[in-house]
Amino acid sequence: MNAVFIDLTYLFASILFIFGIKGLTHPRTAVRGNLLGATGMLLAVVATLADRQVLGAGTQELALILAGVLLGSVIGVTLALKIQMTAMPQMVALLNAFGGGASALIAGAVLAEVDDPTMQTAVATVVSGIIGSVTFWGSLVAFDKLQGLMLPDHPVHFPAQQVGNGMLGVTALGLGVWVLSDPSNLAAYGLLVAVASVLGILLTIPIGGADMPVAIAVLNSYSGLAAASTGFVLNNDILIITGSLVGASGLILTLIMCKAMNRSLMNVLMGAIGPDSGPAVDADAMYAGRVKRTSAEEVAMLFDGARRVVIVPGYGMAVAQAQHQVRDLANLLQSRGTEVEFAIHPVAGRMPGHMNVLLAEANVDYDKLREMDDINPSFEQTDVSLIIGANDIVNPAARTDPSSPIAGMPILDVDKSRTVVVVKRSLSPGFAGIPNPLFAADNTLMLFADGKRAVLDLITAIKEG
C-alpha cells in the first residue's frame, strides 16, 4: 500500500511539472506555473521521505538527510536572491552543473549499494556517470568563461582537438564496458567519471562567448538526460519523466539557437567560428572616410522628428548594465509621442532569452519586446534604429556577402530603417571577428561611448533640446 501511495504521488507530481512548464507558455500564467512545479517537487520529496528505505534508516542517516537539505537550501536561497539578472547565464550554467553532478553521484551510490545489479541498472549507471560528469565539468567551464575568471571568452583551439576528444570518448565507453563486466569494482566507475570529467572540460573549452547560448542549452539538455538515465538506474518513473522533459527542453532551445546563427550544432561545438576563420575582410578599407561620428545632441534632434524608434539591445547592454537607463530613454520618447519598440534577436546576449529578462527587470512592458521575424518587416517604416551593444546580429554582410563567416545568419534588418544610430565604444569587431558594413553605411551614425553613459547623455540632450 505504501509503495502504491508513493507511486501515485510521483505520478501526480509529474503531472504538476507538465502543467508547470505549460504555464511558461505565457507571461500571465508563468508565476502560477512555477508554483505548480514547486508544489509537485514538495509532494515528491514528502512521498520519498515516507519510503520504507528512508523511514527505516538509522538516526545518523536521517541527521545527514536533514543536514543535506538544510545546507542545500541555504546555498540555494542565497544564490537565487543574490544573483544579478545580468549574471543569469552563469547561474543557469551552475544549476546545469549541479544537476549533472547529482546524477553521476547517485549512480555511483547505487553501484556501491547494490551487490548484483541488473543489466539495466548497470548500463544506466554507466550512462549517468558519463553524461553526468561531462555535464558537471562542462558547465563549470561554461560558468568560468561567462564569469570571466580564468579561461578566455574567445574560442580556443588546441592541437588534435577532435582526435583527442574522440579518444577520450572511446576510453570512457571502454571503461563503461569494464564497469558492466565487474559492477562491484567501484574503482572502475571512479576512473570512468574521471575520464568523462576531462572530456567535459575539453569539449567546452573551445566554445567562445557568443556561442554560449548554444553551449548552455546543450548542457541543460544533458543534465535532463542524465536525470532520466538515473531514473533507469533506480527504476523510478518520475526521474525518467522529468529528465526527458528537461532533455527535450534543452534540445529544442539548442536547435532554435543554432538556426538563429545559421550554423550546425557540430560547427558550434567545435568552436569553429572566430578571428581565425573565413577570408579576411579589410576593416580599414571598409570604414576609411565613411564612418560618420555623431553626438548625443544630434541624435536628440533626430529623435525629435521621429515617429517610430526601434531599440536593438545586445550583450554590450548587459555588460554596461544599461537596461534601466535604456528603459528611461524609451519612456521619455514615448511620453513625447514617439512609438518605441525593442527588437530582440534570438542569440542576443549569452543565453536564450537573456535580453528579455534584463528589460523585464527594468520594467519594460513585455508587449514592447518583439521577436526578430515579427519586427523585421517594420524597419522600413522606422525612423531611427538605436543599436546598443550589438554587432554581429545586425551585420548586413550576413545577407549580402556569401563568403562571410556569418553568411545566411538571420539578422535584424536595421539597415533598412531611415537612420541607424550605433552606440559602441569603438569600431572593434564583434564575436565573429569581422567588420560590419553597417557602420560605414550612408544612413548610419556612430555614437562612440560606453552604453550607459551614451544613453544618459541622450536623455539629458532630449530634455534640454
Contact 209, 154 (CB under 8 A): yes
CB of 31 to another protein, least distance (A): 5
Q: Give the residue with the Cβ less far from another protein, 33 or 435.
A: 33
Alpha carbons within 13 angstroms on the beta-carbon side of residue 163 total 3
> Across the beta sheet with 369-371, what order do the strands follow?
369-371, 339-344, 308-313, 384-388, 419-424, 444-448
Contact 93, 143 (CB under 8 A): yes
Q: Give the residue with the Cβ less far from another protein, 325 or 444.
A: 325
231: left (phi > 0), else alpha (psi -120 to 50), else beta?
A: alpha
Q: Which three cell numbers stand for residue 445?
A: 551614425
Beta-strand relationship, 339-344 and 369-371: parallel
Q: Give the residue with the Cβ less far from another protein, 221 or 404.
A: 221
**Residues annotated catalytic, as ranges:** 392
Q: Give the residue with the Cβ less far from another protein, 68 or 174.
A: 68
Element (H, E) at 370: strand 369-371
Contact 139, 218 (CB under 8 A): no
Q: Give the residue with the Cβ less far from another protein, 242 or 325.
A: 242
CB of 279 to another protein, least distance (A): 32
How is residue 87 annotated by DSSP?
G
Angle at 145 between CA 144 and CA 151, to 5 degrees: 85
CB of 440 to another protein, least distance (A): 31
Angle at 108 between CA 142 and CA 183, to 5 degrees: 130
CB of 374 to another protein, least distance (A): 10
| Torsion sign over Cα 156, 160, 165, 168 | negative
Q: Give the residue with the Cβ less far from another protein, 232 or 379.
A: 232
Longest dimension (CA), the chain: 82
For every residue of 370-395, DSSP letters joined together read EEHHHHGGGGGG-SEEEEES--GGG-
CB of 340 to another protein, least distance (A): 14
Task: Round to the nearest angstrom and report the end-to-end CA distance of the chain.
Answer: 77
Q: How many CB atoms lie within 10 A of CB 155?
A: 23
Question: Helix axis angle, 237-261 relative to 212-234, nearest 10°?
Answer: 160
CA gyration radius for the chain?
25
Q: Give the residue with the Cβ less far from another protein, 52 or 290.
A: 52
Q: For residues 218, 223, 225 and 231, what is the CA-based torsion angle, rounded to 10 degrees?
A: 180
CB of 126 to another protein, least distance (A): 15
CB of 196 to another protein, least distance (A): 16
CB of 33 to another protein, least distance (A): 8
Q: Which three cell numbers stand for residue 211?
A: 556561442
Q: Give the residue with the Cβ less far from another protein, 136 or 379.
A: 136
Element (H, E) at 204: helix 186-204
C-alpha span between 395 and 152 (Å, rounded): 24
Contact 309, 382 (CB under 8 A): yes
